[in-house]
Amino acid sequence: MNEPAAMNEYAVNLDSYPAYIYDLAGLEAHAAEIRAALPDTEIFYAAKANPDAEILRTLAPHVDGIEVSSGGELTHVRATLPNSRIAFGGPGKTTEELALAHHLNVDRIHVESPRELSRLPGPASVLLRANLPLKTLDAALTMSGPFGMDEPGLDECAGRIAETPGIDLRGIHVHLASGLDAPAMLDLAAQIRDWALPWLEAHGVNDPELNLGGGMAVDYTSPDTRFDWETYGKGLPESPALRIEPGRALTAYHGWYVTDVLDVKTTRGETYVILRGGTHHLRTPVTKGHDQPFKVLTANDPESRATLVGQLCTPKDVFARDVLVPHLSPGDVIAFTMAGAYAWNISHHDFLMHPKPTFHYRR
Ligand SMILES: *Cc1c(COP(=O)(O)O)cnc(C)c1O
């Protein structure tokens, strides 16, 4: 694994900023740990968290497959990992995407509506995505609304599948919330199982599968507090066949966005540190409404408060507000950590046309 000191040294010696650094050695060790904690559960990595090809290749030996949410992700994952098992989910799949899934040998389709089912070419192995009225404790994001189907929609789909040769109902897919800790996830899993097993049995599904989704908590205010995979693995039931599809909790910890200070100024009593680049390269703090965790690599001893901003002409371009920092000058280097998931790939890169970051992979 890359020791923090080695990452620091690498980051301060880069030729140019901003830059993304992916710690592939750390990612590999983390994925192996998760794999070991969940020996009986299939793990599909949710590519939308970070579809970088090197990340996919690093994860591949430690996961059972990849979950994709669009034809674009599907094409990319199939090209990057030709032999991987793929599950295809997401609302609003087009007829072209469904045909592509068939063509590229997708392992499971997560059907989101009766209309989508009617457009699905066979043969296909299907999980129906259920939108269940379950209690989720303390979720950061609740995935209800347009996702999946309520009981009448599920019943309608099961009825149609029974009349459609080549379409095989294999189980239920659920992704109900994100930001849950292990006990809350287990509580949710038990509720899902209690609902799904009788329903699947009533619809004649033998060897049912449950895909419990992703959403394992990542705490940006406490980078060392990780999701408790041990507890989660020990608490999951042995049957039926279980699959999960984590994204953020797998890759978030293994990316850094590193940049340097361009200017420091105090205006009307507030100190701003202006950094090269901006939240159009790392949108995570804006979308999540948090201070992105960071390390100042070229100075020590936090001594005063400042707001860390980028080069964008908008007051929303804030990485971290009113945080303790050392005395900073132009040229100092800052690494925003926890930038390995929903970071570069969700950002609005073209806004203001700044140079794009360079990408570096530490093995
Ligand atoms: C986004 C998503 C995931 C991954 O969620 P994380 O919070 O990144 O773990 C898994 N499944 C589905 C259906 C999703 O939409």
pLDDT of residue 132: 87
**CATH entry, 85-246, from 3.20.20.70, 3.90.1170.50, 3.20.20.10, 3.40.50.1470:** 3.20.20.10
**What is the residue whose two structure tokens read 């090197």?**
54
Instruction: State how beta strands 141-142 and 108-111 pair.
Output: unpaired
Q: In the structure, what pLDDT confidence band is assigned to residue 191 with cuts at 50, 70 and 90? A: very high
Ligand 1 near 49 CB (within 6 A): yes
Q: What is the arithmetic mean of pLDDT over 341-354?
A: 97
Structure tokens at 26: 């750390």
> Is the pLDDT score of 253 beyond 60?
yes
Distance, CA 52 to ligand 1 centroid (Å)?
16
Distance, CA 89 to ligand 1 centroid (Å)?
10
- pLDDT > 90: what percent of the chain? 90
Q: What is the arithmetic mean of pLDDT over 308-334?
A: 97
The least confident of 8-22, 171-185, 265-279, 320-334 is 171-185
> Is the pLDDT score of 293 beyond 50?
yes
Q: What is the arithmetic mean of pLDDT over 4-26?
A: 95
> Is the pLDDT score of 329 beyond 60?
yes
Q: What is the distance, to the nearest Å, from the Cα of residue 40 to the centroid of all Cα atoms in its chain? A: 22
Q: What is the arithmetic mean of pLDDT over 89-110?
A: 97
The whole-model pTM stands at 0.96
* Cα Rg of the chain (Å, integer): 22
Ligand 1 near 62 CB (within 6 A): no
Catalytic residue among 15, 206, 313, 353: 313
Question: Nearest CA to 104 among 73, 126, 63?
Answer: 73
DSSP labels, 188-256: HHHHHHHHHHHHHHHTT-SS-EEE----B---TT-TT----HHHHHHHS-S-SEEEE---HHHHGGGEE
Ligand 1 near 214 CB (within 6 A): yes
> Where exactly are the structural domains of the chain?
85-246, 253-362
The string of pLDDT tens digits covering residues 298-316 is 988 878 999 999 999 999 9
The string of pLDDT tens digits covering residues 151-187 is 999 999 999 999 999 999 999 999 988 899 999 999 9
Average pLDDT, the chain: 95
253-362, CATH topology level: Lyase, Ornithine Decarboxylase; Chain A, domain 1 (2.40.37)
Q: Is-catalytic flag, 313?
A: yes
DSSP labels, 132-152: -----TT-SEE--TTSSB-HH
